[in-house]
Structure 1
Amino acid sequence: MDKIAWITDSMAFFEPGEAEKIGVHVIPTLLILNGESYREYVDISIEQLDQKMREDSHASPTTSQPSFGDFVTLYEQLLEDGYDYGYAIHITSGLSGTYSSSVAAAEAVGFPLYAIDSYTGAANQQELVRIAQRLVAAGKGPDEVMSTLETFKHKSHFYLIIGNMETMRRS
C-alpha cells in the first residue's frame, strides 16, 4: 500500500490540532504586520493578531504565500520519510501563488505530487482534502481522485466577506 502525504496551506483554516489528527501537513501563510513576518498559526495565533491590531489602530496586516523554501523543506522531508507521493490542495491561485510554489518545489526535489488549485479556500478547501482522503480510503487511484476534485471545485462556491475595503486595497 502506498504511503501518501496530504498537504494544504493555512488558508484552509483547520481548527487547531484538526489537520494533524487527520494526517494533513499544513504550510503556513505568512502574515506581515508592521514590517514583521509571522507564520500563520505557528508564530502567531488569530487571537494574538487580533490583540496586536487592537493595540495599534494603524496596524494593517497583509499576507504573503508560504515561502518556496518551506515547500522544499517539506517535500524533502516527505521523501526522507518514505512517502510515495502526495496530494496537495491549495488556496485559489486567484488570491495566492501558493499552488504554483508548491508544484515547483515538488518538481525541484523530485517529489511526486498530485496538486490542485482549489479555486476556493476555507471550508471548501478543507472539504476537498476530506473528499480526497475518503476516495483513497475507498481504493480510488490518483486519476479518479483528481477527476472528482476537479468536478467538486467547479460546483462549489466561495464567498469572501471583506470587513474593511482599505485593508483589502493594501493587500
Structure 2
Amino acid sequence: MKTAVVTDSTAFISDNLRNHPDLFMISIPVILDGKIYSEGVDVEDEAEFYQLLKKSKELPTTSQPSIGEVLELYKNLAEKGYERVICIHLSSGISGFVTNLISMAPGIEEIEVVAFDSKITSMPMGHMVATTLNMLDQKADIDEILTKLELIREHTRAYLIVDDLNHLVRGGRLKNGAAVIGSLLKIKPILKFDDGAIVLSEKIRSSKKAYARSEDMVVKHHKKSKMDFKYFIIHANNAPIAELEKLKLEEKIPGIKVEVGTLGPVVGTHVGEKTVAFAWSPQ
C-alpha cells in the first residue's frame, strides 16, 4: 500500500530527510500582534522570530492548522496514488490538533488516515518521523510501524530548563501550578513532558545547578538503559549553551552521540527564548 507520512512544522527534520518523496509537512500558525506567521514559511530564521517575539505587545498565541488545508492535502495525496497517510503530530498536551484529527480520521473517505499523537515535539518527534520513513522504505507493515512508534513514545523523555516561565504560565501550557510559586521565589525549575503535557519536575536554586542536574539525569539514564538511545540537546535561540552541554555530556559519557537541534517558533512561543531541553528516545 503506497503510504505517505505527514507531520507538522514543530518536528525537527534533518536536512537529508526534508526532501524524502513521501514526507509532507503541515505548517502551524503563530500569531504575533494580530499578524499570522506560518512556521517554516513566513519565519524560518529563529533569531528573527525571537526578535519579533521580544517586540510583541500582546501575548503571542498559536493556532491549529486549517482543517480545510489538511483535508485538501489528503485529497492531493490520494490523487497522487497514496492509499494511506501516517500522521505524526505535536503532543495533544500542547495542541488539540491531533486529538481532532484522530476523531475525524474514520470519516475521511479519500485516503486511510492513521493519526499518531507523539506526546512530544521537536527532535524526538522528528526521530519518530525518520523511523517511520525508514521502515516504510524497508517495506514494514503498518502494525510493525505503529508498534515501533509506541515503543519510542513510551521511552522518550524530555526535560526543559526555561529561562522565563512567563510564556508557559500565561499561555496555559504549564499544567502544574506549583511552578508559578517557583517563579515568584526565583527558583530555576526543571520541567518535563508527562503524558504529553508540560509539568514541573524539580525546583532548583540556580541555572548552574539545573544544568548539572539535567546532565546527571542523562548520565544515569545512559548507564542503566538496556536499549540503544538517541540523545538530544534542543534549544530556543541558545546555541552556545546547547553546544556547551553537548560537549559536557560527551566528556562525561565516552562514546555517546548527542545531536543538537532547535525549538521552532510554535514551541518557542510557549516556552520562551533561551530554553534548553535534554531529551532521549530509543533508536
TM over 0.5: yes
Runs of 5+ consecutive residues of structure 1 not aligned to the other structure:
none
Residues 164 and 134 from structure 1, CA distance in 2 versus in 1: closer, same or farther, beyond 3 angstroms? Answer: same
Asked if the contact 2:32–2:56 (Cα under 8 Å) also holds between the matched residues in 1, the reply is no
> Is 1:22 aligned to 2:25, yes or no?
no
CA 1:59–1:91: 2 relative to 1, 3 Å = same
| Change beyond 3 A, Cα 1:104–1:20 | farther
Q: Is residue 68–residue 105 contact of structure 1 (8 Å, CA) maintained in 2?
A: no
Over 3 Å counting, the alpha-carbon distance change for 1:25 and 1:19 in structure 2 is: farther
Aligned to 1:139: 139
The 8 Å contact of residues 72 and 108 in structure 1, kept in 2 or not, is answered as: no
Contact 2:33-2:56 at 8 Å conserved across structures: no
Where does 1:90-101 land on structure 2 (aligned, <5 Å)?
Answer: 90-101=89-100
The more displaced of 35-44 and 148-157 is 35-44
- Structure 2-normalised TM-score? 0.54
* Residue matched to 2:158: 158
Q: Which residue of 1 aligns with 2:149?
A: 149
3-state SS, counterpart of residue 32 of structure 1: strand
* Bigger fraction of residues in strand: 2
Equivalent positions of 1:105-124 (< 5 A) are 106-110=105-109, 111-124=111-124
Quick one: which amino acid aligns to residue 89 of structure 1? I
Structure 1 residue 91: deviation in Å?
A: 1.3
Quick one: distance in 1 between partners of 2:108 and 2:5?
Answer: 17
CA distance in 2, matches of 1:147, 1:125: 15
Match of residue 127 from structure 1: 127
1:71–1:102 Cα contact (<8 Å) kept: no
Higher alpha-carbon deviation: 161-170 or 73-82: 161-170
Are 2:85 and 2:113, in contact at CA under 8 Å, matched by a contact in 1?
yes
Question: What TM-score does the superposition give when structure 1 sets the normalisation length?
Answer: 0.85
Q: Is the 8 A contact 2:17 2:130 kept in 1?
A: no
Q: CA deviation at 1:82?
A: 1.5
* Residue ranges of structure 2 left out of the alignment (5+ in a row): 172-283
How is 1:6-21 mapped onto 2 (pairs within 5 angstroms)? 6-14=5-13, 20-21=18-19
Q: Does 1:52 align with 2:52?
A: yes
Which portions of structure 1, spanning 4 or more consecutive aligned residues, are displaced by more than 6 angstroms?
none
CA distance in 2, matches of 1:57, 1:4: 41
Amino acid aligned to 1:165? L
Residue matched to 2:169 = 169
Task: Name the aligned partner's letter for residue 21 of structure 1.
Answer: N
RMSD, matched Cα = 2.1
Q: Which residue of 2 aligns with 1:86?
A: 85
CA, structure 1 residues 103+60, in 2 after alignment: closer, same or farther (shift >3 Å)? same
- Alpha-carbon contact 1:30-1:38 (below 8 Å) kept: yes
Letter in 2 for 1:69: G
Q: Structure 1 stretch 100-109 or stretch 138-147: which is displaced more?
A: 100-109
Q: Which moves more between the two structures, 38-47 or 122-131? A: 38-47
Match of 1:74 in 2: 73
Which entry has the higher C-alpha Rg, 1 or 2?
2
- The offset of 1:87, in angstroms, is 1.0
1:115-149 per-residue CA deviation (whole Å, 9 max, x = no partner) reads: 21111111110111111122222221001110111
